């Protein structure tokens, strides 16, 4: 009988420890990761590295805003990657390295993505098709369209202004895609 209370105290301590880990676990893991990376590389905490990470994560961030809105409604969209790929193919091939075609190229690529999204949305909302299955099929179909459109090879070229503005760092050290991400994130709120 003397072992009973200590066992209960141990169980309570274990549960309290799990609660703290549940609350602080991800923060502790991030802090550990930053500490190790900082110890291994003197460049990790540099402004240039931070801006590089921000640049690379902005495209994923823009995508995450849209997917979040879909998930809030209880849906799943597995076709996002294929739609982004097709839109990028359309944008690059229409631009063909010409600054005069930027507006048309961007409008057509956004229109293509919006059209596929509209069809997915109508089929899920009006026909009650499961979004998981529908968007899985859409991903395969759109990927096939992209391969047909490009012939399975890289094609097209971005316009110099577009590449220097969106792909470069036109705002001093801040990458051009970051304000786009900030605007999309603000619109998603």
pLDDT average, residue stretch 141-159: 94
C-alpha 160: how far from chain center = 25
* CA separation for the pair 61, 121 (Å, rounded): 21
| Beta carbons of 66 and 87 less than 8 angstroms apart | no
Please state at what angle helix 80-95 crosses helix 102-127, rounded to 10 degrees.
150
Condensed to tens digits (0 to 9), the pLDDT of residues 14-35 reads 777 777 777 788 888 899 999 9
- The whole-model pTM stands at 0.78
| Beta carbons of 179 and 189 less than 8 angstroms apart | no
Does 2 have pLDDT greater than 70? no
Does 96 have pLDDT greater than 70? yes
Mean pLDDT of the residues in the chain: 90
Does 168 have pLDDT greater than 90? no
């Amino acid at each position: 009988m003397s072992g009973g209370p200590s066992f209960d105290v141990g169980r309570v301590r274990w549960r309290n420890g799990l609660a703290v880990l549940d609350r602080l676990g991800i923060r502790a893991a991030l802090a550990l990761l930053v500490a190790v990376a900082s110890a291994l590389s003197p460049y990790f905490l540099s402004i240039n590295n931070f801006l590089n990470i921000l640049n690379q994560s902005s495209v994923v961030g823009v995508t995450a805003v849209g997917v979040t809105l879909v998930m809030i409604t209880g849906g799943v969209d597995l076709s996002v990657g294929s739609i982004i790929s097709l839109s990028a193919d359309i944008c690059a091939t229409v631009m063909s390295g010409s600054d005069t075609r930027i507006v048309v190229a961007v409008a057509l690529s956004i229109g293509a993505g919006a059209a596929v999204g509209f069809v997915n949305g109508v089929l899920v909302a009006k026909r009650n098709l499961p979004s998981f299955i529908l968007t899985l099929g859409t991903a395969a179909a759109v990927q096939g369209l992209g391969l047909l459109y490009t012939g399975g090879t890289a094609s097209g070229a971005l316009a110099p202004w577009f590449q220097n503005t969106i792909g470069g760092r036109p705002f001093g050290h801040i990458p051009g895609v970051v304000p786009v991400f900030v605007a999309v994130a603000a619109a998603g709120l």
